[in-house]
Structure 1
Amino acid sequence: MQMSSINSTVRLTHVPSRAILLGSLLGALLSGIVAMQVFLYFKLYSDDPLRFRGLVLFIWLLDILHTAMACASNWSYLIAHFGDDNVADSIMWPTAVTVALTAFITFFVQSFFAYRIFTLSKNWFITLPIGILTTARLAAALVSTSKMIELGHFSEFVHSIGWVFTMGLSLATTVDVMVTFTLCWYLNKSRTGFQSMEAIVDSIILYTIETNSLTCITTAISLICWISMPRNLIFLGLHFGISKLYANTLLATLNARKALRGRSESTRNLSEYSLSLVAQNHGPGFIRRLESSPPRGTQSLTKTVQIRVEETVQHHVDASYLEPKSFAEGRNGDK
């Protein structure tokens, strides 16, 4: 009888702890992927601008600290307070700190995407609202963290200031939707009509939707769990993984540049090979003669050669898409 009572108490007490444990394990797995992507970034892009390298290193350090706080939360819930009937409602300070760390990572990643949007659009009326909402999300998370530490119990936090945490998750989801829609809009406007260029733009749009929608969906599910069932801490287990998803989104975006350049190089090599065949078959000065005074019957060939050269330029510019300044300058130069 006594053993049954102990087992029921343990099961009741540690329902929230299981959510935190599973969330921490998932977060640790995603953190390993973050570390792998950081290693890949510094190996492939050691010549990147200092601001990009500094951002990647800073995000990595925040991610490591977040993982350490998640592990400390597990220690508090599962070991230090094992069997404590009040632990389910208690907010440990490492758990509260993870909320602030998630907000900081979210802030820097969303600011990076806002910067990309501005370099593409040169429009403050689009970029400024995203920046304001991102900053408001960070402020809401910092207020939530301070109140969690001050109150120390989820029941009191939900009753007194839980709406601030709700606002923070809502703002994060809203910004993700705005960033995804805006990037896809301007990418779609950058189409030139060339078939191979269209394929690359389609790939970038699909990649943008996939990476940003993952963070958006996870944040939305965490918000729903927070509103509907805050006491079982499922929302917190999901929240542990949100920061990792944002970090992976940033790193995957930066690391994808090699693949885009590879596609551009293959197209350029094909164009150069076609031009070399023309020169071999008709003589080295044939193309120059076509440009100066094309004879009758060679107009279609001249047009074909010119189109291939234009495609090479367009692909070379688009290969640097993830370096927004170069992409924007390339588009303006083409015009």
Structure 2
Amino acid sequence: MSTAPIELPNFARTISGPTLLGTFFNLVLYGVLITQCSVYFKAQKKDRPWIRMLVVLLIVLETVQSALAIAYIYDRLVNNFGDLIAQATPTPLIQVETLMVGLISMIVQSFFAWRVRVLTGKKWLGWLVTALAVISGCASIVLSVLSWTLSKGFLDQGLILQNMAILWLVGATVTDTVITVVLVTHLHRRRTGFSNTDRIIDRIIGVTLQTGLLTAISAAINLVLYLTTSTTADQLMVNIALAKLYSNSLVSSLNVRAAWSYDANTVNTSSGVESQGSNARRNVFGNISHPTRHPEVFIEIDSHELRDVAAKSATSSHGVPDETVKQYHQDF
């Protein structure tokens, strides 16, 4: 009596397919990152040396991470084409790639933790965010090591592996959420009521929400896919590209300061107020005044009054330059 052949899962669909898509997303975001870094090094030449070195470090790490992802999918689809056992067996390439994702996210989150400490002036809050980032990053490192030992038969504790993955992704989601909430709350409280300053603060809040929530939501999606698709590797579609989201969020937050600086140094001319550095005399409608009999006295008075209003519009309620915008641009 013959027995029916055992039908093996289509590992090319359940494992290699999601990995290939994740590699595509990774490389697209890598191109975006290289463009962002090119803009950064051209526009932000006066940044602190350690910040510039941090960007260089991220470029190196992201390049290695992308190379690992490419090497892994090439090994699966070319070197081991048709070998179902090899398709289902984890390799050190994907394990180190996972470690790189956790390491990069920890570095970026630690940078934002420093930003939280400087902006809020609360050291304990900065250390709290740093601790959350380190816990999440260390969990990814432990996950990579456990995954390797499990594949070698040294450890047969799949539950421990799952717990480390949950700790890593939950920690990343919580850390990103805390960073976003703290920064947005602090910036919102620093609104002055003056349109120029508040407009810049609103833009900072917008960028903070976009970058912070994007990484938090991506980490959460990664976790959900990991927990709900036990027979596939769909989480790799997000996981392989996750590091690029973190690096892009950091570099984009550095690049966008140029626009904030421009707005902070430009006086609103919609009410006939001069741009800084202009010596042209203008009336309240913004037109160049033509000299008539004794016009200079009245025009000069109006011009000085308007300059005073413009100067106040770029200051805080205490009549001094808003320290939040100034500090955000200078320090970050």
Question: Which consecutive unaligned segments of at least 5 residues does structure 2 have?
Answer: 290-294
What amino acid sits opposite 1:311 in the alignment? S
Q: How far off is 1:121 after superposition?
A: 1.0
Specify the SS of the correspondent of 1:230.
Answer: coil
Give per-residue Cα distances to partners, 1:124-164, cap 9 Å, x unaligned. Answer: 23222111111101111111111112212899563342201
Q: How far off is 1:262 after superposition?
A: 1.9
What amino acid sits opposite 2:311 in the alignment? V
2:86 is matched with 87
1:189 is matched with 189
Give per-residue Cα distances to partners, 1:15-49, cap 9 Å, x unaligned. Answer: 21000001001101100111111111111112221
Give the counterpart of 1:306 among 300, 305, 308: 308
Distance 1:285 1:266, change over 3 A: closer
1:99 is matched with 98
What amino acid sits opposite 2:257 in the alignment? R
Q: How far off is 1:179 after superposition?
A: 0.4
Would you say how many aligned residue pairs link Structure 1 and Structure 2?
A: 309
What amino acid sits opposite 1:306 in the alignment? D
Please give the alpha-carbon distance, in whole angstroms, between the structure 1 residues aligned to 2:194 and 2:315.
11
The answer to whether 1:240 aligns with 2:240 is yes
1:142 is matched with 141
Please give the alpha-carbon distance, in whole angstroms, between the structure 2 residues aligned to 1:12 and 1:285.
80
On the 8 A contact 1:116/1:324 being kept in 2, the answer is: no
1:294 is matched with none
2:250 is matched with 250
What amino acid sits opposite 1:282 in the alignment? E
The answer to whether 1:15 aligns with 2:10 is no
TM-score, length basis structure 1: 0.82
Give per-residue Cα distances to partners, 1:105-124, cap 9 Å, x unaligned. Answer: 11111111111111111112
Q: How far off is 1:318 after superposition?
A: 5.8
What amino acid sits opposite 1:75 in the alignment? Y
Please give the alpha-carbon distance, in whole angstroms, between the structure 2 residues aligned to 1:307 and 1:153.
72
Equivalence map 1:58-97=2 (5 Å)? 58-97=57-96
1:206 is matched with 206
Provide the aligned C-alpha RMSD in A. 3.0
The answer to whether 1:31 aligns with 2:45 is no
More helix per residue: 1 or 2? 1
1:282 is matched with 296
Please give the alpha-carbon distance, in whole angstroms, between the structure 2 residues aligned to 1:11 and 1:162.
23
Distance 1:268 1:84, change over 3 A: same
Percent of aligned pairs with the same amino acid: 23
TM-score, length basis structure 2: 0.83
On the 8 A contact 2:196/2:264 being kept in 1, the answer is: no
Q: How far off is 1:308 after superposition?
A: 1.9
